[in-house]
Amino acid sequence: MECQCCRRAVTLTRFVQLREVDMEVPPGGFTSPEDPRYLVYAERTQYRPGFVCPACYAELDGEDGVATIDGRMFGIASRSRGGRATTYTEERYRRYQARAARRLGIELA
């Protein structure tokens, strides 16, 4: 498994709702919900399921859920904070990946 924040290979992860906080709202905001810049912003700032190592989780699991890791800023949703993120081993992660692949109609070898 690989931590989605620090990219280190690990054998234990925490399953979180994660986003990379790398985009600023442009001065003056957006012109409309159909503004292409807004659509990119909304897509990039949405929380997604992610796996982070225990060290990165410890940094992210604070009051605001935000930390800078390897020069990039990440955030986790409030439901992933306070030690509530589920711990995944290699085996549990493989089962998760297999279920996700089946939902997409992909068969893993």
The pLDDT tens digits for 17-55 are: 999 887 677 777 888 888 888 888 888 788 999 999 999
CA–CA gap between residue 19 and residue 47 (Å, rounded)? 5
Would residue 86 count as lying in a domain?
yes
**Is the distance from CB of 49 to CB of 38 less than 8 angstroms?**
no
pLDDT higher than threshold 90 for residue 109? no
Beta strands 66-69; 12-20: pairing state: unpaired
Closest CA to 70 of 60, 62, 85: 60
Would residue 77 count as lying in a domain?
A: yes
Segments forming the whole domain that contains residue 64: 12-20+49-103
Asked whether residue 53 is domain-assigned, the answer is yes
Q: CB under 8 Å to 94, separation ≥6 — which residues?
A: none
Provide the domain count of the chain: 1
37 lies in a domain? no
17 beta partners: 49
pTM: 0.81
